[in-house]
Amino acid sequence: MRILNNILLIGYGNPDRQDDGVAWHILHATALQLGLPALDSYEDEFPTNSRLDFAFHLQLTPEMAEELAPYARICFVDAHMGDIPEPVRMIPVESEFQRSPFTHHLTAQSLISMCETLYGKKPEAVLLSVRGYHFQFERELSPETGALVAKAVNLIVEWLEK
């Protein structure tokens, strides 16, 4: 498998809200699939390794633009609701500032736009989103979303091989 240096897998969501935390489960499973150390809890930091970097956050913030600037490739991982027809999908992330009615909501597109505007860097980026079905106050994924994790991991591994 050919994996380039300078790659970041960044997941975000709230693991205390059931399927909203699917990104952490996907990052965890991806690390295991690649034979890398994985974590027991989303509250810990992923160990560093020479193949790629992992990060998990509750949400994207403007301050992350600086952290993204050094990377050549970035895969954002998040949950989506039923408004997207595919249960698992990977799409390119374009640099586009998007206004949001929610003051705490920042999209991957807006974050890449900030990175480009502030630091003159525009990493190649994709967004992998997985359908969430239940958003209760639980740490376990619903069976429906849990069944999608393996497909999401396969998409990430394919993306890494490009």
Which is it for strands 88-92 and 124-131: parallel, antiparallel or unpaired?
A: antiparallel
Query: Look-up: residue for tokens 């079905």?
Result: 133
For residues 68 and 9, the answer to whether their CB atoms sit within 8 Å is: no
Instruction: Fill in the amino acid letter for 86.
Output: E
Is the pLDDT assigned to residue 5 strictly greater than 80?
no
For the domain with range 7-161, which CATH number is right: 3.30.160.270, 3.40.50.1010, 3.40.50.1450, 3.30.420.40? 3.40.50.1450
Higher pLDDT, 35 or 156: 156
* pLDDT digit string, tens, across residues 26-66: 999 999 999 888 778 887 877 777 778 999 999 999 999 99
Residue 135 pLDDT greater than 80, yes or no: yes
Domain positions in the chain are: 7-161
Mean pLDDT of 74-93: 94
Look at the pTM and tell me if it is higher than 0.75: yes
Does the pLDDT value for residue 73 go beyond 50?
A: yes
pLDDT over threshold 50, residue 3: no
Conformation bin of residue 78: beta by default, left when phi > 0, alpha when psi is -120 to 50: beta
pLDDT tens per residue across span 88-113: 999 999 886 655 544 447 899 999 99
By CB neighbour count within 10 A (0-12 exposed, 13-18 middle, 19+ buried), where does 65 fall? buried
